[in-house]
Amino acid sequence: QVQLVESGGGLVQTGGSLKLSCAASGLPDDVYTMGWFRQGPGKEREFVSAIMWIAGGTYYAESAKGRFIISRDNAKNTLWLQMNSLKPEDTAVYYCAKRRDSSGTYYSPRTYDYWGQGTQVTVSS
């Protein structure tokens, strides 16, 4: 059974940084992509970033490009999201997720089959 546990959220001022972690267990050998999503108050869950678990290729939402960096350690089954130059609009619950397979698109939440419980990120102005 796949389990994903996020940590590292918190309260930070505008312009600050946070590094989120996602500890994974029970991952199958053929994991294709792992991703980060977020859901702000009254908003739909949206794509932030994703990484190809084996190949290492990365993808970012336009809002994250140049500010966020996704990385992983396959041996430790850990995923990270380094977030810099944070803005109030980045305030959300951040989730890590495992993509089901290579079908569909990496930015659609529907293509991910396991999710963590989320970690709250609050950016004050």
**Residue spans of beta strands (DSSP E) within 8-124:** 10-13, 18-25, 33-39, 46-52, 58-60, 68-73, 78-83, 92-99, 112-115, 119-124
Q: Cα(76)–Cα(22) distance, rounded to whole angstroms? A: 11
In terms of Cα–Cα distance, which of 56, 96, 61 is closest to 72? 56
pLDDT bracket for residue 2 (50, 70, 90): very high
56-113 tens-digit pLDDT: 999 999 999 999 999 999 999 999 999 999 999 999 999 999 999 888 899 999 999 9
Residue type, 42: G
Q: And the tokens for 81?
A: 């999201």
19-34 tens-digit pLDDT: 999 999 999 988 999 9
* Rounded average pLDDT over 115-124: 98
- β-partners of residue 20 are 81
What is the predicted pLDDT for the residue at 72? 97
Element (H, E) at 5: strand 3-7
* Res. 49: pLDDT tops 90: yes
What is the predicted pLDDT for the residue at 102? 87
Task: Give the dihedral of Cα atoms 90, 48, 20, 73; nearest 10 deg.
Answer: -160
